[in-house]
Amino acid sequence: MHESINTRKLAADAAVDHVKNGMTVGLGTGTTAYWAIQEIGRRVADGLQIRAVATSVQSENLAHELRIPIVPISSIDSFDITIDGADEIDDQLNVIKGGGGALLREKIIGAATKFYIIIADEKKYVTQLGAFPLPVEVVKFGWELVFYKLQSFGCTPVLRTLEEQPYLTDNDHYIIDCSFFHIPDPQQLHDQINRIPGVVENGLFLSMADLVILGKGNGSTEVLHKKSS
């Protein structure tokens, strides 16, 4: 456990090196993004001057505790940098996100970001996406119909729950976690899912990451760059 937390912090600290004075920063959500927010908070206390928007209530609360300047998203038209975690990353730097339940806000902010950094433990790097269940955020009304449609795509869908009640996102939506086990064509699946009425967004973040930083068990980091098209 300590090794895993340490590798996440290694990746987070390396990512925060890219944050400079005057930047508008997107703060991610989850166990790895937590370390990035902690490090940004430490550097703000040392004089780093930024403004930030968080991708979840949880991350925003942490940022407030660390006295990171948070501004309304309505005051932002783009982000200089966003640092966020991932549940899986493939060799094309396609990513599955949403295990922490913030995928919609993460994708909104990620899509408005000039330099998007994904940080993770090296074990999140895989040859093909799909072992981690793909989160799909859906509206409450008619979620059962969306569930059956997702099932027809060949996955095993499960409505996410918390304390025996449907889990609610910060946007007051449900999440259906879809176990595909293998996703050979992420773009096709992304488009199919998002065409289902009632789907708000899915956790496939495709061709969005500019940089991936992996924390490794030997105490080093590995940096993966977006391939030129």
Domain check: are 51 and 160 in the same one?
no
Q: Residue 226: what pLDDT?
A: 85
Domain at 57, CATH number: 3.40.50.1360
Q: Residue 3: what pLDDT?
A: 45
How many angstroms separate the CA atoms of 42 and 207, rounded? 31
How many angstroms separate the CA atoms of 32 and 125, rounded? 14
Candidates 39, 60, 88, 106; catalytic one:
106
Does residue 125 sit in helix, strand or coil? strand
**Displacement of CA 114 from its chain's centroid (Å):** 16
The residue among 33, 130, 131 whose CA lies nearest residue 81 is 33
Q: Residue 229: what pLDDT?
A: 54
Q: Residue 4: what pLDDT?
A: 44
How many angstroms separate the CA atoms of 82 and 39, rounded? 14
Q: Residue 227: what pLDDT?
A: 77
Domain check: are 10 and 111 in the same one?
yes
From first to last of its 229 residues, the chain has per-residue pLDDT tens of: 444 458 999 999 999 999 999 999 999 999 999 999 999 999 999 999 999 999 999 999 999 999 999 999 999 999 999 999 999 999 999 999 999 999 999 999 999 999 999 999 999 999 999 999 999 999 999 999 999 999 999 999 999 999 999 999 999 999 999 999 999 999 999 999 999 999 999 999 999 999 999 999 999 999 999 876 5
The residue among 129, 144, 137 whose CA lies nearest residue 194 is 137
Please give the helix or strand (H or E) that residue 224 lies within, else none.
strand 221-225
Is 225 contained in some domain? no
Domain check: are 99 and 143 in the same one?
no
Looking at the structure of the chain, the number of domains it has is 2
Q: Residue 126: what pLDDT?
A: 97
Domain check: are 15 and 96 in the same one?
yes
Contact, 221 vs 214, CB < 8 A?
A: yes
Domain at 178, CATH number: 3.30.70.260
Whole-model pTM: value is 0.94
Instruction: Determine how many CB atoms are found less than 10 A away from the CB of residue 23.
Output: 17
Q: Is the CA virtual torsion 6, 10, 12, 17 positive or negative?
A: positive
Annotated active-site residue 106? The verdict is: yes
Residue numbers of the domain that contains 101: 2-125+206-217
